[in-house]
Structure 1
Amino acid sequence: MLNLILWRHAQAEVGDKDLARRLTKKGRKQARKMAAFLREKLPEKPELWVSEAKRSRQTAAYLGRPTRRLAGLNPNVAAYDIAPILGECGENQTVIVVGHQPWIGDLAALLLNGNGEVAARSWAFKRGAIWWFEIGRTADDTLSVKLRMVMNPKDI
């Protein structure tokens, strides 16, 4: 079973150069809290994938694990574009993807709708929040997706 954790980057500064935006003081606190929460729950060797955006990399850095930087996770991509990237995941693996709205909410909708369609409106992820999915295959080889947990930094 694949454990897929979608983690929206924490609160970031406003700015014209999107990939250069950094975490705010509040964002650093959000990322630190969520990373501490995740460390207690994660298996030993999760994969940590981040976009090229500074705020995504800063959020992930609080886990203190190596990251894989992927342009395919940048803020301007669509959820449908991420499916091929997720195809690289192994069955017995945990992958944490630090990403951006709206694609992160759209990806959650794709996973949970089960019909390959995004909801009419993007599902909202709070800044710094995680959605933890368990993804596997049933006996007849259909995809099985379960939402294991949703957690926001302010609830920790």
Structure 2
Amino acid sequence: MDLILWRHAEAEDWPEGDPDGARDLERSLTPRGEKQAARMAAWLDRQLPDGARIFVSPARRCEQTALALGRKYKLRPELAPDATPDQLLELVQWPQCKAPILVVGHQPTLGQTIARLMGLQESECAVKKGSIWWLRHRDRDGTNQTVVVTVQSPEVM
């Protein structure tokens, strides 16, 4: 199974006067974020198989990031900013799903998921805004493994 984790591109700052995060889902990409999303989408479109399934957080900044790819996607509440790695992994059916899955989401969920799948000692892995982590599950001699296929950042595109 291939699991591609794409952190949303750069977004507007947290609105002042919104201490409980009520308007967090409404935050849009900045002009720089739009460029980041476009660069990563161009690369990803060349790499992503046609049958890939795409799941996106309901946050506006995530949907705008996914829109740059120009493919069909589904908004999933399980990927909202307060999502857990368990919710993400259950949604994508890791590692049983046969189709590649692209998830557009948030920190710290993406970094926590990477750390868990890679068996890192830290509970979270840093994931830059707009970057992609492509992970693959495989069975090697009866042992389940997670390997990193690639990590891409919009700054190097």
TM-score (norm 1): 0.89
Structure 2 residue aligned with 1:27, among 29, 33, 36? 33
Partner of 1:119: 122
Give the Cα separation in 1 of the matches to 2:95 and 2:151. Answer: 21
Aligned amino acid, residue 76 of structure 1: D
Partner of 2:148: 147
Partner of 1:129: 131
Give the Cα separation in 2 of the matches to 1:78 and 1:139. Answer: 31
Give the Cα separation in 1 of the matches to 2:9 and 2:122. Answer: 24
* 1:56-67 alignment, distance < 5 Å: 56-67=62-73
Contact 1:89 1:95 (C-alpha < 8 Å) held by counterparts: no
Aligned amino acid, residue 147 of structure 1: V
Q: 1:42 to 1:36 in 2, by over 3 A?
A: same
Aligned amino acid, residue 154 of structure 1: E
What SS does structure 2 have at the residue aligned with 1:23? coil
Give the percent of matched residue pairs that are identical in Structure 1 and Structure 2.
37
Partner of 2:12: 13
Q: Which moved more, 1:103-112 or 1:131-140?
A: 131-140
Give the root-mean-square deviation of aligned CA atoms: 1.7
Contact 1:91 1:136 (C-alpha < 8 Å) held by counterparts: no
Contact 1:128 1:153 (C-alpha < 8 Å) held by counterparts: yes
Q: 1:25 to 1:71 in 2, by over 3 A?
A: same
Give the Cα separation in 2 of the matches to 1:26 and 1:143. Answer: 39
* 1:43-58 alignment, distance < 5 Å: 43-58=49-64
Residue segments in structure 1 that go unaligned for 5+ positions in a row: none
Contact 2:8 2:104 (C-alpha < 8 Å) held by counterparts: yes
Residue segments in structure 2 that go unaligned for 5+ positions in a row: none
Give the Cα separation in 1 of the matches to 2:38 and 2:25. Answer: 21
Which whole-Å deviations, capped at 9, do the CAs of 1:13-59 have from their partners, x for residues lacking one? 12231111000000000000000001111112211110110000000
What SS does structure 2 have at the residue aligned with 1:43? coil
Contact 1:77 1:103 (C-alpha < 8 Å) held by counterparts: yes
What SS does structure 2 have at the residue aligned with 1:75? coil
Aligned amino acid, residue 52 of structure 1: P
Contact 2:95 2:137 (C-alpha < 8 Å) held by counterparts: no
> Aligned residues, how many?
150
Q: 1:6 to 1:52 in 2, by over 3 A?
A: same
* 1:71-82 alignment, distance < 5 Å: 71-82=77-88
